[in-house]
Amino acid sequence: MALFLGILVDVDHILDYLMEEKRFDSKHLFVKSYNHEYDRLILCLHCYEYILVVWIICCFSKKYEFAIIFTVSYLTHMIPDQLSNNIRPLGYFFIYRIYKKFRMNDVFYPIE
């Protein structure tokens, strides 16, 4: 599950690319992502709020092991992203991105 979760989280990059470009070009997707060329970036799977949701569900269902595995796996993906992607401190909170209207320039620091 940990490996699956680590890969699954990045599917949202493809979804954001398709919404903005209305086509798929894998090379252009990586170039656009690397250069921060999006107008808006939803990143629907990069949300720290999922950890809270999973813990609430798991507490009611008494699936604590799942909650621990999910949290460790998810943070194993999210922490390196947080540290390496030039994102503002609250940028991986979905509520913050809604507040910023998903504008990439408001969620990420400019590339220098």
Instruction: Say if residue 27's pLDDT is above 80.
Output: yes
Residue (of 104, 105, 107) closest to 96 by Cα position: 107
pLDDT above 70 covers a percentage of the chain that reads 100
What is residue 89's predicted lDDT score, i.e. its pLDDT? 97
- CB neighbours (10 Å) of residue 100? 17
Confidence of residue 74 (pLDDT cuts 50, 70, 90): very high
Looking at every residue in the chain, the average pLDDT score rounds to 94
